[in-house]
Amino acid sequence: MSFVIDRFGDEIAARYLAHDVVSMRDSIVNEYRHEGKTYDPDKLKGYLKEAEDSYQQAIAEFGKSFAGSYGWAAHNLGLKSPRFQDLEKAVDWDSLPPNYKWSSFSRMDSSVLARVDKILKQQLERATTILERHRQACERLVDGLVAGFELSGEEVLTALNSKTETARRSLRSG
């Protein structure tokens, strides 16, 4: 990804990080499918509603192509549904010598590192804010994990959607 960011700059780096909401929504939809439930965005509440709203805002901002697996690169590559091969082509990956390909995994241009560092710091602040906002739910989840070593998706969603002691009682007691 560093080659793609280096080639296209801050805009694509920001899109790459913003694309996390697409991955999060995909995970939520998959969890619903796994549990045999229908995913209905209109019936979501709490944390799930926030995730869906963030997803819809990202699609509104970046366009429908953003919803794809590599949608974060769609704009810069000029493709509706980019694939990983398209990313490799965009940075002319095949022309690089094999040794450089391997060594590039551990070395990045300092300007790319500086841009990535700035974006990562912003995302850390964002993640910290989210965790602080959901601190009580996170603590309930930790208690549930300590007690039972695992939680179902439903237990996690209940804890995140609840601001009462009900969620604590719904978590396994071991």
Collapsed DSSP state (helix, strand, coil) of residue 81: coil
Distance in angstroms (rounded) separating the CA atoms of residues 26 and 37: 14
Q: Where do we find the tokens 């366009």? A: 63
Distance in angstroms (rounded) separating the CA atoms of residues 116 and 109: 11
Q: What is the structure's pLDDT at 4?
A: 79
Q: What is the structure's pLDDT at 169?
A: 46
Q: What is the structure's pLDDT at 173?
A: 45
Contact 143, 170 (CB under 8 A): no
Of 109, 113, 162, the residue nearest 134 (C-alpha): 162
Q: What is the structure's pLDDT at 38?
A: 92
pTM of the model: 0.53
Please state the φ and ψ torsions of residue 146, each to the nearest 5 degrees.
-60, -40
- The parts of the chain modelled with pLDDT lower than 50 are 101-106, 164-174
